[in-house]
Amino acid sequence: MKYNLRIQVETMICSLGRWALFFFTSLAGLVKIIMVALKSFPNPLNPGRSTIFHVFFKQVYFTGLESLKIIVIISLAIGTVLIAQIISLTGTGNESLIGKVLVWVVIRELGPLLTAVIVIARSGTAIATELGFMKINGEIDSIESLGIPKEQYLILPRILGVATAVIILTIYFEIFSIIGGFLVASIGWQISFEKFFHGIISSLTVIDLSASMVKSLFFGLFLSAACCRQGLNVGKSTTQIPQAASRGVMQSIFLVFILDGIITYASIAFRSH
Amino acid sequence: MTDIILAENISLTETSKATTFRMQLGGMYILLTSKDEDAASLTRLLIGMDKPHSGKIVLFGSDTAIISETELHLIRRRIGVAFKSGGLVSNLKVWENLTLPLYYHQSLSHSEVESKGIGMLGRLGFTGKYMDLPGHLTISQMKIVGIARAMLIAPQVIIYESPLYGLNQEEKINFFKNAGEFHREKPGRVSIFVSASQEVIRFMPEAVVVDFTKEPTI
């Protein structure tokens, strides 16, 4: 009995170790992809810059502009629900607390996190699927045969494009959450604009805004790198494409939550110093 | 004569016999394989996308097995490859596919790229729409765009993978006429036809044949 328990504990520790090893190897692989892509950033004399920027702007358009509608609707809904819940809990006349909770929840956490999840669902799958199809159809080889490195033409603009789009969408998310919150507070509880925004501004710090932007940047970089890697890892069968897309999504979501924890703790430590 | 490509004891598969051949400045070659898959493998070997199972391939004096990816990319800019089905990027329009290497590697104005691109497509008899995605084209149209893209960069070496695939008789005649003219346009240009079809020899009787089906050594 005692011997069995010992084996079970050992197995559990081994599994945990294997998982940790897999996680850190995977993370190192993603860091390598990002570094290689950034290293391939074209110098000012490279005539290919405009072509790379074209792919970058297409990615920003697809990830950013086309997702804006969804982000606006979701953020307005989140803002209204959040304020309604806070006011129903604390009652009116507590505008500074409303502002604090809004900053804590939306700007520090929900803004970057939900934006990243929406981008993963919409663009992450698209990136993994697109690259997977290109791999199977020999299009990536065809691009490389033209003397165009895939890191420079395919990965760099996608990673930077998604990161840029996530940062911009997070800003929109936060602004529209506050607008949604104000609408419900002013219509439902007759809270004035001055009181509402004074509550937010008095709670908002540069560290909060910086942490939010740093989160968005890292989420954008890592989620796009994870999806690019899954797309490029597709072999020769078309059945691997949906598998790659779902693996890319799961890996990205997992990474986003882990990174969120790390950056949150880092910002708390920074704040306490 | 200078060797542009030197293949020493290369084999397409682990079981096939090793073959040695050299391609020299200004030469025209037919690499005859037993099947289309071998033609694709051989094309990949010639541009350093794959490493040979045995032996080595030296491109412009550099061994493809030991040079860096960056050096390989620089060498590939001197080689035009017309893939079996065109090798077009599916999310780029015909025009974007055609002009991609020009915009990427050469500092040309839009009007220069436009005149070169339209001229090349017209010369090869492209009948499709320039702003269509490749998915809307027929195989022969995709192939023509792929050939035009390979020719447009005015390469030192041009490789045609399975050149007869997807073309009707009239298109085949037109293709070989253009390929011959293109070969003669630049002194020292090397043209390589990698095919599993003996018919290529009939169209290009002046070319040196390296027969991978009989394991020869030149």
Query: A37 CA to chain B: closest CA distance, Å?
Result: 14
Q: Position of tokens 């306490």?
A: A272
* B132: DSSP letter: S
Find the distance separating the first CA and the last CA of chain A, reported in whole Å. Answer: 50
CB contact under 8 A, A133 and B90: yes
In this complex, which of A48, A137, A138 lies closest to B104 when CB atoms are compared?
A48
In this complex, which of B76, B88, B104 lies closest to A145 when CB atoms are compared?
B76
**Whole-number Cα distances in Å, B19 to A254, B7, B55:** 51, 8, 9
Distance, CA of B187 to CA of B55 (rounded, Å)? 30
Instruction: Tell me the three state secondary structure of residue B53.
Output: coil
A136 vs B: CB within 8 A: no
Distance, CA of B185 to CA of A4 (rounded, Å)? 80
Tell me what pLDDT residue B214 has.
Answer: 65
What does CATH list as the number for B1-78+155-218?
A: 3.40.50.300
Q: Domain residues of chain B, as ranges?
A: 1-78+155-218, 89-153
Supply B106's token pair: 């050469």
* A239: DSSP letter: T
- For the purposes of burial, counting CB atoms within 10 Å of the CB of A233, is it exposed (0-12), middle (13-18) or buried (19 or more)? middle
B87 vs A: CB within 8 A: yes
Q: Which residues of B98-134 are buried (b: 16+ CB within 10 A; e: fewer)?
A: bbbbbbbbbeeeeeebeebbeebbeebebebebeebb
* B17: DSSP letter: P
- Specify the long-range contacts of residues A201-210, CB closer than 8 Å, at least 24 apart: A201/A99, A202/A96, A202/A99, A203/A96, A203/A99, A203/A100, A203/A102, A203/A103, A203/A104, A204/A99, A204/A103, A204/A107, A207/A267, A207/A270, A207/A271, A208/A103, A208/A107, A208/A108, A209/A107, A210/A267
Tell me what pLDDT residue A244 has.
Answer: 94
Distance, CA of B162 to CA of B168 (rounded, Å)? 14
Distance, CA of B45 to CA of B6 (rounded, Å)? 12
List of E strands, A19-89: none
CB contact under 8 A, A48 and B89: no
Tell me what pLDDT residue A173 has.
Answer: 96
Q: What contacts B213, CB < 8 A, 6 or more positions away?
A: B32, B33, B34
Do B147 and B155 meet the contact criterion of CB atoms below 8 Å apart? Answer: no
Give the β-pairing of B56-59 and B62-63. Answer: antiparallel
CB contact under 8 A, B101 and A149: no
Nearest CA in chain B to A51: B104
Nearest CA in chain B to A142: B87
Q: Domain residues of chain A, as ranges?
A: 2-272
B68 vs A: CB within 8 A: no
Q: What contacts A138, CB < 8 A, 6 or more positions away?
A: B83, B87
Distance, CA of A7 to CA of B129 (rounded, Å)? 69
Phi and psi dihedrals of B31, rounded to 5? Answer: -100, 110
How big is the A-B interface in CB pairs under 8 Å? 68
List of E strands, chain B: 3-10, 19-24, 28-32, 56-59, 62-63, 79-82, 157-161, 190-195, 208-211
Tell me what pLDDT residue B218 has.
Answer: 46
Tell me what pLDDT residue B11 has.
Answer: 80
Sign of the CA dihedral running A248, A249, A250, A251: positive
The residues that bridge with B209 in the sheet, in sequence order, are: B30
Residue ranges of chain B with per-residue pLDDT less than 50 = 216-218
Residue ranges of chain A with per-residue pLDDT less than 50 = none
Q: What contacts A218, CB < 8 A, 6 or more positions away?
A: A259, A263
B106 vs A: CB within 8 A: yes
CB contact under 8 A, B101 and A144: no
In this complex, which of B69, B70, B81 lies closest to A145 when CB atoms are compared?
B81
Of A224, A117, A218, A123, which is closest to residue A167 (Cα–Cα)? A218
Tell me what pLDDT residue B217 has.
Answer: 45
Half-sphere exposure of B80 (CA within 13 A, CB side): 28
A151 vs B: CB within 8 A: no
Give the β-pairing of B79-82 and B62-63. Answer: unpaired
Q: Let me know how long chain B is.
A: 218
Tell me what pLDDT residue B30 has.
Answer: 94
